[in-house]
Amino acid sequence: MADTRTILLVDDYPDALDVWEIFLRAEGFHVLTAGNGFQALTLATKNRPDVIVMDLDLPDISGFEVARELRSQEDTRNIPIIAATGHSHMAQHDKARNAGFDAVVVKPCDPDTLVGQIQRLLGANGARPAATIGH
């Protein structure tokens, strides 16, 4: 990528954070990581990343709650958020969209699929389309 965009990765599984961080850095992104929802809220508010990729099942507060809180704050409401979940049920995806997620990727997810979703959201120019992508 020509310009460096910041991605906030949120997952309570350290190995998942490590793998995605390495891949996204190799793709030219600046990457911040959070292991729980409260960390994610703090980092998102402080750093205002260009995109957030967040697991739905976090140990302290759920990804759903984090997304709703981010959408309620003036400074973070327009940051695109991608749900990364192991749940492939459409009801879970609908719940994610209703909480404020812009896209859903099902884990395990092909890295190129995730990057494609990130690039799609970065190119949306303020629009927040919803999409569901499987593996």
pLDDT for position 52:
98
pLDDT for position 91:
83
Task: Name the more confident of 112 and 70.
Answer: 70
pTM: 0.87
Place of tokens 């970065």: 122
The DSSP code sequence of 30-78 is EEEEESSHHHHHHHHHHH--SEEEEES--SSS-HHHHHHHHHHSTTTTT
Average of per-residue pLDDT across 19-39: 95
Average of per-residue pLDDT across 98-119: 91
Q: Name the token pair of 55.
A: 């697991």
CA distance 119 to 128: 13
- Range with lowest mean pLDDT among 20-24, 37-41, 90-94, 114-118: 90-94
Task: Name the more confident of 17 and 133.
Answer: 17
- Compute CA distances 28 → 6, 23, 25, 49, 55, whole Å: 9, 9, 5, 14, 22
Q: Name the token pair of 45.
A: 């508010």
Q: Which CATH number fits domain 6-133: 3.40.30.10, 3.90.550.10, 3.40.50.2300, 1.25.40.80?
A: 3.40.50.2300
Does the pLDDT value for residue 35 go beyond 50? yes
Task: Name the more confident of 72 and 133.
Answer: 72
Per residue in 45-99, pLDDT tens?
999 999 999 999 999 999 999 999 999 999 999 999 999 988 777 888 888 999 9
pLDDT for position 11:
96
CB atoms within 10 A of CB 79: 21
